[in-house]
Chains A and B, each alone.
Chain A
Amino acid sequence: MPASEALRGAPGTPGAPGTPLYGQFPTALRFSVREQSRNRLAALLLVLFVPLWYLLMTSIAGDKDLEFKLYSTGELLSVDGKHVTLITAGMNSLTMISGFVVFDAVRKALNFDKRLAFAGFRQSTLIGAKMLAIGIVAGTIALYTALALLIYWRPGLTGWATILAGFVTMTLTYGSLGLLLGVLVKNDLEGFFLIIMGGLTDTFLQNPLGNPAANKPALQYFPSFGPMQFSVGGSLGDTVMWRYLGFGLLWAASFAVIGLIVFHLRTRSRRPTR
Chain B
Amino acid sequence: MTTRPQPALAARDIHKAYGKHQVLRGADLTVEPGQLVAVVGENGSGKSTLLKAIAGTLSVDSGEVRLGGELGYCPQDPVLNLNLTVDQHLQYFAAAHKLDSLDRAGELVSLLGYEKYRGTAAGELSGGTRQKLNLTLALLHDPDVLLLDEPYQGFDWETYLRFWDLVDQLHERDKAVVVITHLVFEQERFDVLADLVEGRLTPRATAVKEHSNAGV
- For A22, what are the chain B residues with a Cβ–Cβ distance below 8 Å? 91-92, 94-95
Interface: B26 (CB within 8 A): no
Bitwise interface map of A from 12 to 26 toward B, beta carbon under 8 Å scored 1, else 0: 101011111111100
Which residue in A23, A24, A112, A120 is a CB contact (below 8 Å) of B81? A112
A269 in contact with B56 (CB, 8 Å): yes
- For B60, what are the chain A residues with a Cβ–Cβ distance below 8 Å? 270, 272
Interface: A34 (CB within 8 A): yes
B54 → chain A, closest Cβ, in Å? 7
Interface: B111 (CB within 8 A): no
B79 in contact with A270 (CB, 8 Å): no
What is the number of residues of chain B that contact chain A, defined by CB distance less than 8 Å? 37
- Of A121, A272, A274, most buried by chain B (CB within 10 Å of CB) is A272
Contacts A112-B81, A272-B62 given; indicate if A120 touches B96 (C-beta within 8 A).
Answer: yes
Interface: B98 (CB within 8 A): yes
A19 in contact with B96 (CB, 8 Å): no
A116 in contact with B83 (CB, 8 Å): no
Interface: A193 (CB within 8 A): no
What is the number of residues of chain A that contact chain B, defined by CB distance less than 8 Å? 36
The A interface is mostly helix, strand or loop, or mixed, namely loop
A23 in contact with B95 (CB, 8 Å): yes
A273 in contact with B64 (CB, 8 Å): yes
Bitwise interface map of B from 168 to 196 toward A, beta carbon under 8 Å scored 1, else 0: 00000000000000000000000000000
Count of inter-chain pairs, beta carbons less than 8 A: 101
* Nearest residue, chain B, Cβ from A125: B95
A112 in contact with B80 (CB, 8 Å): yes
Which residue in A12, A20, A112, A270 is a CB contact (below 8 Å) of B59? A270
A115 in contact with B56 (CB, 8 Å): no
In the bound complex, CA of A105 to CA of B101 (Å): 29
In the bound complex, CA of A9 to CA of B96 (Å): 13
B16 → chain A, closest Cβ, in Å? 10
Interface: A161 (CB within 8 A): no
Contacts A34-B84, A119-B141, A272-B62 given; indicate if A27 touches B98 (C-beta within 8 A).
Answer: no
Interface: B102 (CB within 8 A): yes
B1 → chain A, closest Cβ, in Å? 20
A108 in contact with B65 (CB, 8 Å): no
Interface: A154 (CB within 8 A): no
Interface: A43 (CB within 8 A): no
* Nearest residue, chain B, Cβ from A20: B98
- For B163, what are the chain A residues with a Cβ–Cβ distance below 8 Å? none
Which residue in B53, B63, B101 is a CB contact (below 8 Å) of A21? B101
Which residue in B56, B80, B97 is a CB contact (below 8 Å) of A120? B97
Interface: B82 (CB within 8 A): yes
Q: 13 A-B contacts, Cβ less than 8 Å apart?
A: A18-B100, A21-B102, A22-B92, A35-B84, A112-B80, A112-B81, A118-B57, A119-B97, A269-B57, A270-B57, A270-B59, A270-B60, A272-B14
